[in-house]
């Protein structure tokens, strides 16, 4: 169920939380400008650097560098999508104020991170806001990991909103599955009970590999 953003009001739904009002108008087909910093993935049959970036299925996710809980940068960009140890990448976007984000986080380790680790799936969670809709900090990052036992996945924070354009969505959590080229092969707004939709999509994608 897609949430609805209303000024001054957070609307909770069964599937997800409505986002707070965005700082600027965003569209699902968001395409950031190209620049010389982009490095094309070094895999076979990978779309060139001129490929369409965006947030919809079939679009290329623009990479990012964000701080982990220990303040070390984590980069997912260009050739990093082609890490031979990772066939698929799951990215979960969460906020501290969002109840369904908390529920998804409680299940990530046991239902996705560990069961799929030996099948070449890595899980990255990006925390975009704290409980007051403000920027997340390292303290929140560490508390979140401890609270939900997220020690086996990659946890990062986005205090400056650099990923906001890449994940325009009316609902949180927002989750995508990327293939080894950085192409979005599944996008899910909100969290299904038991993460059944996400797991089914992972199983289907892995069966094709």
- Domain coordinates in residue numbering, the chain: 64-207
**Which residue is associated with the tokens 């908390």?**
102
**Which residue is associated with the tokens 């325009």?**
168
Note the pLDDT of residue 10: 33
Of 138, 133, 130, 109, the residue nearest 121 (C-alpha): 109
Q: Return all residues near 206 (Cβ < 8 A) that are at least 6 apart.
A: 87, 88, 116, 119, 120, 121
89 and 178 in contact (C-beta within 8 Å)?
yes
Note the pLDDT of residue 48: 54
Rounded CA gap, 69 and 73, in Å? Answer: 9
Query: What is the CATH code of the structural domain delimited by 64-207?
Result: 3.40.30.10
Rounded CA gap, 78 and 184, in Å? Answer: 14
Rounded CA gap, 207 and 209, in Å? Answer: 5
First-to-final CA distance of the chain: 30
Beta bridge partner(s), residue 174 = 93, 189
Q: Please, what are the averages of pLDDT over each run of 10 residues along the chain (209 residues)?
A: 33 51 42 44 52 82 94 88 84 96 96 95 97 97 98 97 79 91 91 94 92
The pTM score is 0.80
Note the pLDDT of residue 47: 52
DSSP conformational letter for 177: E
């Amino acid at each position: 169920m897609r949430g609805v953003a209303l000024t001054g009001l957070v609307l909770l739904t069964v599937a997800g939380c409505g986002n707070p009002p965005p700082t600027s108008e965003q569209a699902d087909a968001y395409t950031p400008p190209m620049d010389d910093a982009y490095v094309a993935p070094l895999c076979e049959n990978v779309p060139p650097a001129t490929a369409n970036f965006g947030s919809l299925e079939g679009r290329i996710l623009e990479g990012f560098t964000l701080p982990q809980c220990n303040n070390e940068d984590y980069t997912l960009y260009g050739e990093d999508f082609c890490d031979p140890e990772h066939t698929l990448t799951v990215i979960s976007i969460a906020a501290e104020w969002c109840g369904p984000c908390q529920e998804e986080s409680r299940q990530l380790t046991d239902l996705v991170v560990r069961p799929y680790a030996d099948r070449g799936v890595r899980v990255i969670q990006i925390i975009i806001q704290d409980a007051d809709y403000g920027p997340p900090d390292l303290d929140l990052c560490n508390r979140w990991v401890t609270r939900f036992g997220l020690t086996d996945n990659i946890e990062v924070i986005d205090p400056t909103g650099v990923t906001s354009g890449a994940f325009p969505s009316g609902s949180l959590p927002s989750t995508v599955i990327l293939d080894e080229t950085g192409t979005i092969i599944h996008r899910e707004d909100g969290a299904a009970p038991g993460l059944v939709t996400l797991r089914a999509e992972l199983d289907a994608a892995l069966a094709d590999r």
